[in-house]
Structure 1
Amino acid sequence: MQKVSATPRAPSPRMAALAALAGPALGALSLLGAVVLPWPVWTLFLDASAGWCFVVILLGMWAGTRLRPWQVPVSGAVALLGAVVCYYAVAAVLTDGPGALPDLAAWLFPAWPWLLAACVAGPLLTGAGAWILDERRSRRLAGLGLAGGVFLADALLPVLDWAHFRLVSPETPLPLSPVPMFVQSGVYTLVGVALVLVMARVPGDRPRALAATVPAGLVWYVGVWGAQKVMFLSGTGHLG
C-alpha cells in the first residue's frame, strides 16, 4: 500500500510567518478578486464560505509537514482571524476610504461573530488538511470528507432553506425563480466532488472519501446554519 508521510520538519520562524500571512491575503483578495475573477470562482469566496474553508484546509496540508503539531490548529485560527479582519478592513476602505480604518468600532465590531467562528473553524480545518496526508486511512478519509463537505454544506444551505420556506408557507409566491439557486448549488457540489477526487491520491481512497463527504457535509451544514442563525439574531456579522 502506498504510504503518505506527514512527518513535520523542524519549523522555522519564516514558515510560521507564511502561515500567519495566508489569512490576511485570503481576506483582502476575496473582495479584490470579485472584480477580476469569473462568477464560478468568486462566488465561492463571497457568496459562500467554502472557498475560505478550502484554502484553510490547504494551509493545514502545508503546515502539517512544516510546523509542529500544536502549531497546525493555531495557524488555522490565526489565518481565519486575519482573513476576517482584512476582509472587513478592505471593505471599509472601499466604502468609506482609508480614513475609516481608525474607527474600529464601526467596521470591526460587526465582525465579532465571524471572529468567534474563526477560532472554532480554523483549527478544525487545518487539522483536516493535515490529516489528508496522514498514513492512517481513517484520518485521510476524515480530512478528505471535510474538504468536500464544506462545499456540500454551502450547496445545501439555500436548498434546504428554500424547502423549509415552501413547507411552512406554501401559499406565498416566490419572488424569484429557484433555478439559479439550484444551478449554484450544483456547481458547489461538483467542485467539492472534483477536489476530493483530485486530492485522494492513495488507491482505494476516492470512493470512500466521496462517501465520507456526505456525513461531513451534513455536520458542517449544521454548524454553518447555527452560526448564521446566531449572526441573524445578533443583527451583525454578515459578510458584505
Structure 2
Amino acid sequence: MSVGAGEIVAVIGPNGAGKSTLLKSVIGILRVTSGHVLLGTDDVTNHPPEELARRGVGYVPQVQDIFEPLTVLENLEMGGYLLPPARVRTRIDEVTQVFPALTSMLKRRADKLSGGERKMLAIARVLVLDPRVLILDEPTANLSPKLADNLLQEQVRRLAEMGKAVLLVEQRARAAMQVASWTSVLVSGTTRLEGSPGELLGRPDFEELFLGAGTGLKPSSGSEEEER
C-alpha cells in the first residue's frame, strides 16, 4: 500500500478488519512484526511517533484528538510543539486561512465545540507542523451524515489539494470512496481488494467482502447523532 503527494487512499472494511491497527502500526504506536513502513525511500518501521512527526507525518486519532480543557488557540499552539515560537504563530495564521471558521473560535474552550468543529480543530492542530503525510483514523465517527459528508468532501479533499498524502480509515465506505483516488478493502488484517473506487464498485465481490460474508462481521453504521 502506498500514498503519494496529493492522493487520498481510503482503507475500508468490516469491523475488526484491522484498519485502526494498520494506522497505529504505521505511526509507531503498535509494533510492526511483519513488513516495512517507508517514508519516501527511508525505512521508518517501528520509529516512535514523535520522530515521525518531526519527519512530516501527522496523525489524527479517532478519539482524544484535541485537548478539551484548552482553548482552540491553545490547541493550535500545542500542535506546533516542535517548532520555534515565532514559527508557531506564523503556522497558526496559515492554518486558519485554510480553515477560516476557526478564526472566530480561537478563545473558545475546545470542550464547547460541536462534533464537526472538534474534528476541524483536530485536523488543523496537526497541520500546524505542516506534515507531508496525514493519517486520519475514522474522522467522521459520531458525526451526522451531513457533517460527515462535509468533512470528507471539503476538508479532507482540501488536504489533498494542498499536496498532502492522505491515508484515511473510514467506516462510511461509499462516502470515503467519493473522495479517494485509491481504495483498499481490508478483511482480517489482509488487503483483499484494491483499486480505484470506480473499479471496486463495479466488482461483484466488493459488497460481499465489505459486508463480511462468511466472516460473521458487519460494518457499523457509525453514530449519526445530530450535532449542536
- Fold match by TM threshold 0.5: no
User: Higher helix fraction: Structure 1 or Structure 2?
Assistant: 1
TM-score, length basis structure 1: 0.30
**Considering only CA atoms, is the larger Rg found in Structure 1 or Structure 2?**
1
Higher RCO (CA < 8 A, seq sep 6+): 2
User: Higher strand fraction: Structure 1 or Structure 2?
Assistant: 2
TM-score, length basis structure 2: 0.31
